[in-house]
């Protein structure tokens, strides 16, 4: 299995994207709100540095653990049918998903 496929299977790429969007949002809010309260410039810089340092533990956490319907479990303890990863079973069993050859037209 290639590295990219393993990162996708363990949801590391998804976590990185969500973390970066959340960190960007927090940075924008801090940059807007902190000057209104007369906070020193170093506080906004500290927010950015803390968020940058938090990326590595967040990615490591997403590599080791997986979210299941029963809660957070170690990746090694989760059978494929309980995985929420793409191609996994827990969220992939929805009857509302499109099947090959199925029609998506709505008749009014």
- Examine the pLDDT at 96 and tell me if it is beyond 50: no
Would you say residue 17 lies in a domain?
yes
Identify the DSSP state of 11.
T
CA dihedral sign of residues 65, 67, 69, 71:
positive
Query: With contact defined as beta carbons under 8 Å apart, do 66 and 88 qualify?
Result: no
Would you say residue 61 lies in a domain?
yes
Provide the 3-class DSSP secondary structure of residue 67: strand
The percentage of the chain sitting over the pLDDT mark of 90, rounded to a whole number, equals 41
- Number of domains forming the structure of the chain: 1
Would you say residue 92 lies in a domain?
no
Would you say residue 101 lies in a domain?
no
Give the model confidence (pLDDT) of 49-93 as tens digits. 999 999 999 999 888 887 777 777 777 676 666 666 665 544 444
Would you say residue 26 lies in a domain?
yes
Would you say residue 89 lies in a domain?
no
Would you say residue 107 lies in a domain?
no
Domain that holds residue 10: 3-82
Q: Which of 87, 65, 60 is nearest to 75 (CA)?
A: 65
Would you say residue 73 lies in a domain?
yes
């Amino acid at each position: 299995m290639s590295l990219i496929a393993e990162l996708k299977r363990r949801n590391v790429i998804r976590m990185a994207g969500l973390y970066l969007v959340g960190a960007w949002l927090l940075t924008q809010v801090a940059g807007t709100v902190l000057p209104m309260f007369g906070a020193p410039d170093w506080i906004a810089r500290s927010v950015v540095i803390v968020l940058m340092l938090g990326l590595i533990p967040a990615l490591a956490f997403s590599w080791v653990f997986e979210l299941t319907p029963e809660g957070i479990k170690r990746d090694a303890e989760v059978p494929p049918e309980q995985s929420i990863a793409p191609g996994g079973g827990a969220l992939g069993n929805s009857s509302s998903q499109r099947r090959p050859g199925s029609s998506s037209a709505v008749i009014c």
